[in-house]
Structure 1
């Protein structure tokens, strides 16, 4: 950071690439970095005549490790759910589906393609682009052998 020797002002914040002092938005959740900063600050500011109990330090580092694993599991779970949504959307292609249109009315049509551009897959039904979570139900196409022709009965002797 360059400081003007005359005024003592930070030249990066008064001129240069910033027109105003850059501000950092506060985080709304604690992550491992914040947790570690708190632990280091606690260790730096402890009373030398009464240092932190070893059990407390182990407990806090265990909490940090637990938090990191939970964060990892959450990320893995979200990725798994996204994959399941993609698979479910792809399985709809060629099937007749019912869905809610933009006005909230139930409609029916055949799914022809899927887009994964957003966080929720978009299924193309006719000329409509419908989010996967707006699809109400699926009907297998006729002649697929999945019971569409009705129940069969065994011949009697």
Structure 2
């Protein structure tokens, strides 16, 4: 019977031993759904049979995980919607005269000729032949 507690103690010790982050490929990575489920199954597999995990605690962990996963999905959806709205707003500026602050801090005025989208979904404007202008730099719009 002494071998069972030592095995359990070994499993618990290895689970609580700090990991050397220098060996990780991305030490700042967050745990995804798959990682959480693997950890949860490992926790259930290595629990002490004479003192099992509290059912309420495991249900609370799963509920918390579901809530976080739902919030992550909602964040991704909101980011996509915001990107689409920004592009739509930028397209609405085509043909209009705008004033914007350039990289030197000077106010420039010109007609919006074109809207382009970057790899990450951000809209950029071409104003009076100058491409790559961030729509957030626009100070004034006129007809």
Give the aligned length. Answer: 119
Number of the residue aligned with 1:79 = 80
Q: Secondary structure at the match of 2:139?
A: strand
> Unpaired runs of 5+ in structure 2?
1-23
Pair member with larger Rg: 1
Partner of residue 137, structure 1 = 140
Q: Is the 8 A contact 1:121 1:132 kept in 2?
A: yes
RMSD: 1.8
Asked if structure 2 preserves the Cα contact closer than 8 Å seen for 1:32 and 1:67, the reply is: no
CA contact (8 A) 1:114 1:124 kept: yes
What secondary structure does 1:51 align onto? coil
For 1:108, the equivalent position in structure 2 comes to 109
Give 5+ residue unaligned stretches, structure 1: 1-22, 142-157
TM-score under structure 1 normalisation?
0.69
Aligned to 1:45: 46
Which residue is equivalent to 1:56?
57
TM-score when scaled to structure 2?
0.75
> Is residue 100–residue 137 contact of structure 2 (8 Å, CA) maintained in 1?
yes
1:66 is aligned to 2:49: no
What is the deviation of 1:27? 4.4
- Structure 1, 64-73 or 24-33: larger mean CA deviation: 24-33
Q: Report which of the two has the higher share of helix.
A: 2
Residue 30 (str. 1) matches residue 31 (str. 2): yes
